[in-house]
Amino acid sequence: MFFRGALWMLLLLLLCPSGAQGHRGATSPGQEDDEPTPWPNVQRLQEQLRTAGALSKRYWVLFSCTLWPDHCEDQDTPVPPLGWSLPLWGRRSLDMLAAWFCRFQDCCSGGDCRISNNFTGLESDLSVRLHGQHLASKLVLRAVKGYLEKPQVGKALALSFHGWSGTGKNFVARMLVDNLYRDGMRSDCVKMFISTFHFPHSKYVDVYKEELQRQMQETQRRCHQSTFIFDEAEKLHPELLELLEPYLEPRSPKVHGAEAPRAIFLFLSNLGGSVINEVVLGLLKAGLSREEITMQHLEMPLQAEIMESADSSFGSSHLLKEHLIDLFIPFLPLEYRHVRLCVRDAFLGQDLPYTEEALDEIAKMMTYVPEGERLFSSQGCKSISQRINLFLP
């Protein structure tokens, strides 16, 4: 069955060879640098298909060797030598087929090609595209890099992002995923759950539990490095939180050795947002600069606030009580100058020209709090890109 599937793919590729090119991380050795195969005309295609039929078995052997070199050795069929005499289009198609196939499988030489773990990219994104979050930026990079580079892990990495809406929690989660996985949010190793969207009605919690369990197991089975994002974590049903516990509990690293599956859990919530703002406001008023604010200032008040929050089961869940969350990451309230940078990014992101006046004007449209100081944008950088539309000619 698999064999027939592969043949279908081969035929598909012969029909549309250009679609398979340009995926990084999947080039095979021995690919020549001549001009790409031109779109085959109908007569040539017929001829090619006939040849492909005759050669299909041989192709299959080669194809499977391209993907799984280990398997070739214990196959009965001898592998044709390197200088094998297939027409050039055949070799190209084979490479393209392998490239295309690799988009869905972990088969690249040197590991799983769905996983990119580009820490350089992550570091650059966090320092260039994220504004006003010196703590989150440093903590996230250090935690994730440290976890993924550790030779052995005995636990999933669980990070909890806290802060007002618009401060960049979702933005950072996306950045992380975009740099760790080739297909970003669309990767089959990444699952995002939004409480009010995926689990809106508490009366259906049993259905949600089943579905969540299934997705978690399926993802972890398919990927040795998976990421799960829970947005609006403060609204997660207690039974769903309970379901997550076993996934976050430490296990003996000896069971899987270096091959132990890795998982990153991100919990995004606005819990503790107000206490972060109060502390930051107090420190700024006391004369500290924003960058002088450290985790020492925030850690205790933030954790206390989360644990005490009466209107959310997240704070009182076993995840927190059993210390299954590795880090609580504060997202600070954004000031006018940060909002202005977000506005600039939004213009640049849409390839639009901007003036300094436009940046000021849009940044001023946000509401700033508290009443007296008007220091922090109440919506952070949320929906900036919609706002710039009002300023287009």
Ligand X SMILES: *[C@@H]1O[C@H](CO)[C@@H](O)[C@H](O)[C@H]1NC(C)=O
Which residue ranges make up the site for ligand X (CB under 6 A)? 116, 118, 120-121, 124
Task: Find the shortest distance in angstroms from Cβ 103 to ligand X.
Answer: 15
Q: Which residue is nearest to ligand X (CB)?
A: 121
Rounded to an integer, what is the distance from CA 331 to the centroid of its chain? 19
Closer to ligand X by CB, 175 or 264: give it. Answer: 175
Question: Please, which residues bridge with residue 330 across strands?
Answer: 162
For the chain, first and last CA: distance in Å? 58
Closer to ligand X by CB, 131 or 198: give it. Answer: 131
- And the tokens for 65? 């060797």
Closer to ligand X by CB, 129 or 318: give it. Answer: 129
Closer to ligand X by CB, 120 or 252: give it. Answer: 120
Closer to ligand X by CB, 9 or 108: give it. Answer: 108
Closer to ligand X by CB, 181 or 199: give it. Answer: 181
Distance of alpha carbon 133 from alpha carbon 138, whole angstroms: 9
Task: Find the shortest distance in angstroms from Cβ 121 to ligand X.
Answer: 3
The residue behind tokens 């972990």 is 106
Closer to ligand X by CB, 40 or 184: give it. Answer: 184
Q: Is residue 207 exposed (0-12), middle (13-18) or buried (19+ Cβ within 10 Å)?
A: exposed
Task: Find the shortest distance in angstroms from Cβ 171 to ligand X.
Answer: 15
Distance of alpha carbon 271 from alpha carbon 254, whole angstroms: 36
Phi, psi of 276 (to 5 degrees): -60, -45
Task: Find the shortest distance in angstroms from Cβ 349 to ligand X.
Answer: 15
Over its C-alpha atoms, the chain yields an Rg (Å, rounded) of 26
Task: Find the shortest distance in angstroms from Cβ 124 to ligand X.
Answer: 5
Task: Find the shortest distance in angstroms from Cβ 292 to ligand X.
Answer: 29
Task: Find the shortest distance in angstroms from Cβ 126 to ligand X.
Answer: 11
Q: Is residue 101 exposed (0-12), middle (13-18) or buried (19+ Cβ within 10 Å)?
A: buried
DSSP label of 118 = -
Distance of alpha carbon 246 from alpha carbon 220, whole angstroms: 13
